Structure 1
Amino acid sequence: MKKDFYEILGIDKSASAEQIKKAYRKKAIAYHPDKNPGDKEAEEKFKLAAEAYEILSDPNKKAKYDQYGHQAFDGGGYGGGGHMNMDDIFSQFGDIFGGFSGGGGFSGGFGGGGGQRRVKGSNLRIKVKMTLEEIAKGVEKKVKVKRKIQAAGVSYKTCSTCNGQGQVMRVTNTILGRMQSAATCPTCGGSGQILDKKPADADAQGMTTHDETVPIKIPAGVVDGMQLKVSGKGNDAPGSNSLSGDLIVVIEEVEHEFLKREGENLHLDLYISFAEAALGTAKDIDAVNGKVRIKLEEGIQSGKILRLKSKGIPNINGYGSGDLLVHINVWTPKTLNKEQRQFFENALTDDNFLPHPEKTDKSFFEKVKDMFS
């Protein structure tokens, strides 16, 4: 079972952005590979801390994690033991460690250590439409994407501008003296390499466009707008030591013809006739996991809500399923023939047809309250 991100950083859910950053810095310094050479356990904790910080430092990702847990980001390569590699961490969060150990910094891209970094390709973003039935069960979708990949036969050589370091040093004269700073190499873009040999079908960076079918496992209970990440299925980046970007999958929920979703609960308007309401009947209704037969007792009233336990949408964290709420509506005929009209005219003075609500009959507001409780 995946460890809670708040527990990894040693904070609670009310922690501020500054407290989250401070907690991550403390953990990452403690478990950094430079301080724990050869210690695989420390390296794993270092990666998990970075993974936790990646989510909790982003307000949108944090909100989704607070609501849905780890499964808000599951889907092809995320989670489970630290999905980030060292180069991801160095390139994304290196600024947090400035000034450590008296300003010397860490190696591998942190602080002032510098050095060649691995360039990551751009992410791709697609929308995947899902029906309520698919959301209720979870599915594997296969999507076709156009990716930029390194062309066959392309080769790269060391950048002469930065000598393969990916950075160039700049010296600036100030009133305080000469100041030295590092900047990304303008020639190679930080990869430390430039194009050497380029096939005829490749672009200026040695890339070609490739159609690829990517399988995506989508868990049950996803919501409209949720994003899943498939690592390494975005665009490639130039260079022999580069990383591929990611494929970001955005869930688009298709509106159901009859069922309306409210979180994990589903709502259905069921219309019945006067005769069915008076005599009672059985109805087959379509739920997301198949047909369900319900029994309507004699004298059922319009506005009655029947709750079918666990016939809604599964909780994305595996905590059971929501309910299906069936709203009873007694249909009033708009036209009557002579015999039908005579029947209802006689019923106007029949005491049995006059409204006699009982104390146990709930008001509209009480029904709404029960529905949301």
Structure 2
Amino acid sequence: MAKRDYYEVLGLQKNASKDDIKKAYRKLAIQYHPDKNPGNKEAEEKFKEATEAYEILSDDQKKAAYDQFGFAGVEGMAGSQDFSSFHGFEDIFGDFSGIFDTFFGGGSSRFRGSSSSGRVKPGPNLRYDIEITFKEAVFGTKVEIQYSRNETCETCKGTGAANGAGKKVCPTCAGSGQVRHSQGFFSVASTCPACGGEGYIIEQPCKECGGSGTRKKRQKIMVTIPAGVENGKRVVIPRQGDAGPGGGPPGDLYVFIRVKPHEYFERQDLDLYCAVPISITQAALGADIQVTTLENRTIKVKVPAGIQNGKLLRIREEGVPSGGHRGNLYIKLLIQIPAKLSKRGKELMEELARVEGENDAPKPIPLAEITRD
């Protein structure tokens, strides 16, 4: 199913304020929270959809990218589908998280760390931006990139503990990852300051990683850019993102592509366009001209006699390759008028004017007859 516009998901206009975005998400989160709708897949999907929309629109940078480029501008920026690392609830409800405990029968394990939920979470996805030439985008290429990512610490195998030492339940929160206190009629919950919401404490942190379970490492990889890729598209490299907590699997690497404009060619879908100058005599009499393609091949192109300025000639199968076939190359003919004539050239042009006659009182040409190339 195609994604819905984020503003449509939250029922908002593009000029909505941050408060409007927050209120709209809070309303939907209460309505579709999975713990309030157990077993209801539709409610769960709507909850995820609303959370993803809020994650993008509540962030000024992500919102600006989405407003300008749509989904292409924010691909790879949204959190994982289980939203276990998304802090929207803390943002939205703050001290009112106790209300959710009342409504939903105790805090949801969906928003706790990997240790308290009993599940190993994948690591965050990473984004890398590259710029390639127009020709590389059309015919494909391989690019070596170098970037840093968090990898599982080899010494502690991602546990964060030194010498096989274990973890103990956090005495402050008793393993829940939250601490509670009363505020009026409500039970208010907040992240445990002792364990950071993990529910456990490492007694002897690994000296290599400081207890984080990961170490920063710089690496080089080759990225294959497929032929025909368009500006703003992305290539996903599986399992090349940051390592997950507690030895969890790594996320993915999203390589976003920016294509540099070409000096002579431009592209529309699978077709290529260029402009070529011809002389007045070539246009009037017709000619065979040599045209250089994007692949630096020289091809012969026949210009029919009487061709008009701005007309397009189509060369089949010289465009962008895709799925075993190629688009076309369109050549726009621009008739060049000599800025200065030799004495003999002027005599010949005057002779042509006498032979063919000149229209000293031209009438306007109907707009419908003008070629709009």
After TM superposition, the score normalised by the length of structure 2 is 0.63
Give yes or no for the alignment of 1:152 onto 2:154: yes
Pairwise CA distance, 1:131: 2.9
Per the alignment, residue 349 of structure 1 pairs with 354
Give yes or no for the alignment of 1:108 onto 2:137: no
SS at match of 2:246: coil
Per the alignment, residue 60 of structure 2 pairs with none
Distance 1:268 1:152, change over 3 A: same
Per the alignment, residue 145 of structure 2 pairs with 143
SS at match of 1:126: strand
Give yes or no for the alignment of 1:331 onto 2:345: no
Distance 1:244 1:349, change over 3 A: same
RMSD across aligned positions (CA):
5.4
Per the alignment, residue 164 of structure 2 pairs with none
Unpaired segments of 5 or more residues in structure 1? 37-41
Pairwise CA distance, 1:62: 8.7
Pairwise CA distance, 1:298: 0.5
Distance 1:126 1:355, change over 3 A: farther
Alpha-carbon distance between aligned partners in 2 of 1:271 and 1:306, rounded to the nearest angstrom: 13
Letter of the 1:333 partner, please give it: P
Deviation digits for residues 204-243 of structure 1 (CA, Å, limit 9, x no counterpart): 7354332334454555654434455545433335x41556
Pairwise CA distance, 1:152: 0.9
After TM superposition, the score normalised by the length of structure 1 is 0.63
Residue number among 254, 260, 265 corresponding to 1:248 in the alignment? 254
Alpha-carbon distance between aligned partners in 1 of 2:303 and 2:331, rounded to the nearest angstrom: 11
Letter of the 2:103 partner, please give it: G
Correspondences of 1:1-373 after superposition (within 5 Å): 3-6=1-4, 16=12, 35-36=38-39, 50=48, 54=52, 84=80, 86=82, 88=83, 91=86, 102-104=103-105, 107-109=108-110, 115-116=116-117, 123-137=125-139, 141-154=143-156, 155-156=159-160, 157-158=167-168, 160=170, 165=175, 167-172=177-182, 174=183, 176-177=184-185, 179-193=186-200, 196-200=204-208, 202=209, 205-214=212-221, 216=223, 218=225, 222-227=229-234, 229-230=236-237, 232-236=239-243, 239-240=245-246, 242=248, 244-261=250-267, 266-283=272-289, 284-287=291-294, 294-306=301-313, 324-351=329-356, 366-367=370-371, 370-371=372-373
SS at match of 1:136: helix
Distance 1:103 1:47, change over 3 A: closer
Unpaired segments of 5 or more residues in structure 2? 14-20, 58-62, 161-166
Letter of the 2:334 partner, please give it: N
Alpha-carbon distance between aligned partners in 1 of 2:216 and 2:154, rounded to the nearest angstrom: 12
SS at match of 2:255: strand
SS at match of 1:343: helix
Is the CA contact (8 Å cut-off) linking 1:227 and 1:249 kept in structure 2?
A: yes
Letter of the 2:127 partner, please give it: R
Pairwise CA distance, 1:276: 1.8
Alpha-carbon distance between aligned partners in 2 of 1:180 and 1:332, rounded to the nearest angstrom: 84
Per the alignment, residue 16 of structure 2 pairs with none
Total equivalences in the alignment: 338
Deviation digits for residues 219-271 of structure 1 (CA, Å, limit 9, x no counterpart): 5654434455545433335x415564543322111121211345666431211
Distance 1:84 1:48, change over 3 A: farther
Is the CA contact (8 Å cut-off) linking 1:123 and 1:246 kept in structure 2?
A: yes
